Structure formats: C-alpha cells, structure tokens
Amino acid sequence: MLHELDIAGLRLKNNIFLAPMAGYTNLPFRRLCRELGAGLAFTEMVSCKGLAFGSEETKRLLVSEGESPRAVQIFGSSPELMRAACESEELSGFDLVDINMGCPMPKIVRNGDGSALMEDFPLAERIVRECAKSGKRISVKFRVGVREGDGRAAEFARLCEGAGACMITVHGRTRDKIYAGPVDFGQIAAAKAAVKIPVIGNGGIWNTKDMRKMISLTGVDGVMIARAALYRPAVFCELTGREEPPMLPLFLRELDETRSLLGERFACVHMRKMAAFYLKGKRGAAAWKRKLFAAETTEEVERYAREIFASAPSCAPSGEE
C-alpha cells in the first residue's frame, strides 16, 4: 500500500500526505511531518485575493525555504485571479498547486469559495482550466458532495481531470457533515474509477488500520492525513513503517523554528495549541491545558512541554477526522 507516486512528472517518495490545514500547516510543522515520513505536505490555504492585493499576511503563509518538493493550496472563485495566483512570483517555487473546492466553513462558502464551487460545475471547471493554463501542476481537493445523498464525486472528478488537473483528493464526507460522521467510501471509489489521474483519499484516517481500509475499499493511490497529524505527528512513522523517534526534541525544534520564523508572540500562542494536542488521552489533560494556555512566553511553553513529554505517553487518538 505504501509506494512512490508520480504526479505529472513530480516523483514523490511515498503516497502519504499531510493535508492543508488553516492555522496549522506552517513551515515548521510541515518540516516535522516530512521528517516523520510524509511524502508531501501542503501549506495552509492561501487566498488568491490576498495574493492579488499583496497581503503580507498571505505571503507569510508561503514561506517554504529548504522544502522540497513544495505544495501550496489556494482558494478563490475568480478564474482570472486564481490563474494570476498560479502565475505569481510568490508561487513560482511551488511544484504543485492545489485548488480548495472542499472547505465547508460558512465564512468560506458564503463568499462562493471552497465547497461552494461544487454547486457551480461550470465555474469550477473554468477555474481548474484557467489555473492549468499557467503551466503549473494543478490538483483539486473536494468533497463527495454538498449534502448527504447527492452523489456527485465521480462527475466532479471527471470535470477536474477534463479541465487539466493532474491529481484529485476526495474528502469522504459531504459539506453538511463538516468533519463528523462516517466516510462514504463508495463515493471515493466512484471518483477513483471515473478518472485516470492519481486519486488521494481523505477523512477518518488515524492509524494503519484506517489507511488500509481506505485503500482497500476505494482503490485510491494514496491517503491524506489531517487532524490525526496534529494530535500525533508520529502517525506518519506508523503509516510508513518507521520507528518513532523521541518527540520532545522534535517539538522543541518546532518551537524554536516557529519563534525564529514568526516571532515570539505568535510562537507562544501557536505552540501552546500544538503542545495541547499531545495531551489527548493523557490523565489530567484539562489541568495541563489550563497551565499551557496561561503561558505568556515560549520559555514557559517549553517548560510545560518538557513536563508533559516526561509524563506517561498519550494514547494514539482515534475518532473522526
């Protein structure tokens, strides 16, 4: 099930990917997951409008020095702005550009972006086609549908391939389910059967058993890991058959890199959250979280992290993704 994967000439060491996650998949975290075994790691989703208007906040999401290969996810509903983003200097160093057509969050959908595009096939097709004209490798991430029972994954997959996408990722839930409920393996399998380009399965994968189930029931070419990576980055070790290294040194390096790259205040707030994820399954997690979220400096976060990692190991999480 684990194998190299070719995406339009981009050769990847394996078929286990880190999903783009807003607020989390910055460069230090991507580096961590790549070191632990992820074959590809995506940036947080980047606004094409933010790029067009030269937003410094948007540019900060694109920091990727030393990363190879590089994968970025963009979102928007203007074919022209999306193509301009693909052709921009800011995206010139990226090997793969993914189009977000699956985000279920109301603030994204209200603007006609993300999974709203699954309700407008002609517009979605124009966006993919325009982005492909940029000459970049284009992939699309979408859901199996908008609401339960609409069954549009195969049709949308064909649309993406026909418009020039070289890979698709299918999240196995409809938009109305957000991130809860069972994964519709049948719809993912239908999308896989409908196209010749690589198809990546996403949703509900927390361990090797889940990965094997996704691949065996759908035939997908690889899997994409989201929230499981936040709670346990070493899930990539499990999925790729590597020995799990001690995590404290890696966490402390992530803390240091985040501080150097994004500043003391951001690092303090962000790494409090990242440390808290490791508490899933630990006895006394609530008390630890209260201490963590009261920390005002990265030195305090480091001190609490050392105590957390010194205590009993957390259980590997399971549940909905």
Q: Contact 20/48 with Cβ under 8 angstroms?
A: no
Residue 290 included in any domain: yes
Q: Give me the pLDDT at residue 15, please.
A: 98
Q: Are residues 27 and 59 in the same domain?
A: yes
Residue 320 falls within a domain, yes or no?
no
The closest of 314, 230, 304, 244 to 279, measured between CA atoms, is 314
Question: What are the tokens at 196?
Answer: 């010749």
Q: Is the same domain home to 11 and 78? A: yes
39 and 124, same structural domain?
Answer: yes
The model's confidence at residue 38, banded by pLDDT at 50, 70 and 90, is very high
Q: How many domains does the chain have?
A: 2
Q: Kindly report the average pLDDT of the chain as a whole number.
A: 93
Shared domain for 173 and 270, answered yes or no, is no
Of 240, 275, 299, which residue is a domain's last?
240
Cα(189)–Cα(321) distance, rounded to whole angstroms?
19
Same domain, yes or no: 147 and 282: no
Distance CA 176, CA 198 (A): 26
Q: Give tens-digit pLDDT for 192-229.
A: 999 999 999 999 999 999 999 999 999 999 999 999 99
Decide which of 185, 215, 240 is a domain's last residue.
Answer: 240
Q: Which residue has the tokens 């549908």?
A: 145
The pLDDT value recorded for residue 312 is 52
Q: What's the token pair of residue 309?
A: 């990692």
* Local confidence band at 1 (pLDDT 50, 70, 90 cut-offs): confident
Each residue of 242-297: pLDDT tens digit?
999 999 999 999 999 999 999 999 999 999 999 999 998 788 889 999 999 999 99
> What CATH number does the domain containing 270 carry?
1.10.1200
305 with 227, same domain? no
Q: Are residues 224 and 257 in the same domain?
A: no
* Domain termination site, one of 185, 211, 240: 240
Q: Quick one: 294 and 188 in the same domain?
A: no
Residue 321 lies in a domain: no
Structure tokens at 128: 């993919």
Tally of CB atoms within 10 A around 149: 8
Give the integer Cα–Cα distance in Å for 55 and 60: 9
Same domain assignment for residues 69 and 180: yes
Percent of the chain clearing pLDDT 70 (strictly above): 97
- pLDDT attached to residue 66: 86
Amino acid at 137: R
Q: Is 305 found in the same domain as 222?
A: no
Residue 23 counted as domain residue: yes
Looking at residue 282, what is its pLDDT? 82
Give the domain range for residue 186: 5-240
Render pLDDT for 99-144 as a digit per residue (tens, 0 to 9): 999 998 889 999 999 999 999 999 999 999 999 999 999 999 999 9
> At 209, which CATH number?
3.20.20.70
Q: Is the dihedral of CA 102, 108, 113, 116 positive or negative?
A: positive
What 3-state class would DSSP assign to 121? helix
Query: DSSP string spanning 164-213?
Result: T-SEEEEEEEEGGGTT-S---HHHHHHHHHH-SS-EEEESS--SHHHHHH
- By CB neighbour count within 10 A (0-12 exposed, 13-18 middle, 19+ buried), where does 220 fall? buried
The reply to whether 236 and 251 lie within a common domain is no
Say what the pLDDT of residue 316 is.
43
Q: Which residues are catalytic?
A: 103
- For residues 93 and 160, state if they share a domain: yes
CB within 8 Å of 209: residues ≥ 6 apart: none
What's the pTM value of the predicted model, to 2 decimals? 0.93
